[in-house]
Structures are given as C-alpha cells and as structure tokens.
Homo-oligomer: A and B are copies of this chain.
Amino acid sequence: GPLKEVLFFPVDITCVEHLLRAGEALPNSCPCPLPHGQETSFTRLLRHLLSASTSLDLCIFAFSNQSLSRAVLLLQARGVVVRVVTDTSYMAISGSQISTLRRAGVNVRHDMGAVYMHHKFAVVDGRLLITGSLNWTTTAIQCNKENMLCPEQNFHQAEHDLWRSRHGGEQVLE
C-alpha cells in the first residue's frame, strides 16, 4: 500500500543522545538515567529528519520539543537548507524553540494569513513527507494519542508551492 510507515504516539521517553551526537566522541555508555537502545516512534521521527542531506522544510504549528530543535540545529550546522513556517500566535509560547532556531540562522517565517497555521509537517530533501496530528511539543510526543504518516515521493513542486503560496507563509518578519 501507499503507506509504508505510520508513527503512533505517545511514546515513553528514551535517550536520543546517540542520534543527536552522531560523529562526536561519546563515552561507551551514556550516563543519563533514561532507557537506552530502544527504537520508538520518536527515534524513528528523529532518524527521518536527520536523514536530510540537502533540505528540510517545516510547517509546524507549535514547536517546543528540545530534541527536535537540536536535530534541526544539527542539520543547519551540516549545511542542510532549513526553512521553517510557524504560527504567529504560538511562536511566543513558553518553551518555543523558534527564537533559538532564528538565533542559529534558520530561515523562519511566521504565518499571518490565517487564524491558525495549523499544519504539522516536514519535507525531507523534497522526498519524504512526515505529516499528521503531532505538534512538535513534548506533551504531544509523550502524552497524546497522535499519528504521523511518512509517505515518500517527489515533493519538490508541493514544497515550492507550500513555501510560496497561501499554504505556507505569506509574511516574513525579522
């Protein structure tokens, strides 16, 4: 069928340092108290995002999860072209990662063309779509029943449309 993969949440939190510090010299065993070595919907999500080699396009209503923010910053540092569209009203919520991303030079637009920019999707390398009900918040990941589909196809046109048109951002501030 067309759906190769569906990610369900919530998941129990596990250590993701091995994903976010790939390439760094890590101690043989991580000293943190979280469970290690487990694959979850969240590690799958991180792996998909970190597979980006050229571009990552995000339209995310609410973005406050720190591990996801670290993943985006890691991609940006690797030279991946990262673009983010987010919702105006939710940009300033407590714990929002948007200003952190901006400070790191990520191209962020906030959308003022609708009551809510309620999308929650990522396009990896114009190829892999990751979309569903999940906002990028720790509550959503660890507490809510959520789903994400990860269909793969050529999204370059859609990506372009989403970025340029009413479905993406219309306003650039900052």
Contacts and interface: CB of A to CB of B under 8 A. Distances in A.
A166 interface: yes
Interface in A50-77: 59, 61
A48 interface: no
Interface stretch (A13-21, A97-105, A145-153): A145-153
A32 interface: no
A95 to B, nearest CB: 16
- How many copies of the polypeptide does the oligomer hold? 2
B144 A115 contact: yes
Given A3-B2, A151-B3, A167-B8, A133 B145 contact: no
Contacts of A114: 10, 143-145
A149 B149 contact: yes
Interface residues of A, number: 38
Interface in A88-136: 111, 113-121, 129, 131-134
Nearest to A120: B133
A1 interface: yes
A133 B151 contact: no
A61 B133 contact: yes
Interface in A1-37: 1-3, 6, 8, 10
B149 A133 contact: no
A167 to B, nearest CB: 5
Nearest to A4: B2
5 contacts: A2-B151, A113-B145, A118-B140, A119-B146, A149-B151
